[in-house]
C-alpha cells in the first residue's frame, strides 16, 4: 500500500483523483510525487494505570517524552492498540502501543505491519531488558529472542529476526527467583533520574533507526 508525500512549490492548480492512495498534483504543469517509506515503532508494555511507572513499562516513560504533543488513536478491532502517525522527512512513522499484555503484543505488531505492508526491517521494537544495567541502551538489527517468549512470538508472526530492537536496561533483582515480580516494581528515584538523563541517547537511537 503506497503512501505519498506532496512537495508544494507555489500554487496548487489541480489536484487529481486519489487512486490506490497515490495522489498526483499538477503544479504549473509539473508532477511531484514522493513515495513515503512506512516505518513502525512499537513499545512493549503492560496496559493499565497500575503498571505505568514499572520497569516493564519503561516504554511508557519514553513515548510520553518523545510524543508529548501528539494525540493517540484507539484501534482495538484491527490491531488492538493505540497509535499515532507522523511524517518525518520522507517517512510515515507509526508509533504503536499494544493494548494487550506483553505475551499478546505480537498481534498488534503483526496486524498493523500487515495492514500497511511495513517490512520487518522497518520495524523497531522497544522493550525493557533485565540483562542490562539501568540506563544501559542497545540498538541492534537481527537479534535473537534471548529467551523472551513475547519476542519469539513476534519473530514467528513476522517470519524473521530481521527487525530492529532497542533494549533498555532495568537490571536484575538480587534474588533471581523474583524476576517476574521485580519487573513490575517501580524504579527507585535515582534510577528514574538516570533514565531521564539518558532520554537524549534514546531519542538518538530512534533517529538512527529512522535513518536506516
**At 14, which helix (H) or strand (E)?**
strand 14-15
Q: Would you state the cell numbers that stand for residue 110, as one nine-digit string?
A: 503483526
Strand partners, 165: 125, 140
Indicate which residue of 28, 56, 148, 205 is catalytic.
Answer: 56
Roughly how many angstroms between the first and final C-alpha of the chain, as a whole number? 21
Would strands 123-129 and 164-169 be described as parallel, antiparallel, or unpaired? Answer: parallel
Could you give the CA distance from residue 52 to residue 186 in angstroms, rounded to a whole number?
9
The total of other beta-carbon atoms located within 10 Å of residue 126's CB is 26
Annotation marks residue 29 as catalytic: no
Determine the Cα–Cα distance for residues 73 and 129; give it in Å rounded to an integer.
28
Q: Are 138 and 201 in contact (CB under 8 A)?
A: no
Instruction: Name the E strands within 37-99.
Output: 37-43, 73-75, 81-88, 91-98
**Active site members:** 56
Amino acid at each position: 500500500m503506497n503512501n505519498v508525500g506532496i512537495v508544494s512549490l507555489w500554487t496548487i492548480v489541480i489536484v487529481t483523483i486519489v487512486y490506490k492512495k497515490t495522489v498526483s498534483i499538477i503544479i504549473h504543469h509539473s508532477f511531484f510525487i514522493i513515495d513515503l517509506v512506512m516505518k513502525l515503532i512499537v513499545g512493549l508494555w503492560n496496559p493499565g494505570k497500575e503498571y505505568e511507572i514499572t520497569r516493564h513499562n519503561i516504554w511508557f516513560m519514553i513515548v510520553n517524552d518523545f510524543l508529548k504533543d501528539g494525540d493517540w488513536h484507539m484501534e482495538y478491532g484491527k490491531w488492538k492498540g493505540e497509535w499515532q502517525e507522523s511524517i518525518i522527512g520522507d517517512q510515515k512513522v507509526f508509533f504503536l502501543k499494544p493494548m494487550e499484555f506483553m505475551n499478546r503484543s505480537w498481534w498488534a505488531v503483526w496486524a498493523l505491519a500487515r495492514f500497511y505492508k511495513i517490512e520487518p526491517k522497518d520495524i523497531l521494537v522497544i522493550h525493557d531488558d533485565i540483562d542490562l544495567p539501568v540506563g544501559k541502551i542497545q540498538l541492534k538489527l537481527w537479534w535473537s529472542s534471548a529467551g523472551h517468549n513475547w519476542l519469539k512470538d513476534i519473530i514467528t508472526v513476522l517470519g524473521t529476526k530481521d527487525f530492529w530492537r532497542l533494549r533498555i536496561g532495568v537490571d536484575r533483582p538480587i534474588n533471581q527467583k523474583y524476576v517476574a515480580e521485580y519487573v513490575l516494581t517501580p524504579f527507585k528515584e535515582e534510577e528514574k533520574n538516570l533514565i531521564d538523563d539518558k532520554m537524549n541517547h534514546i531519542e538518538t537511537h530512534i533517529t538512527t533507526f529512522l535513518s536506516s
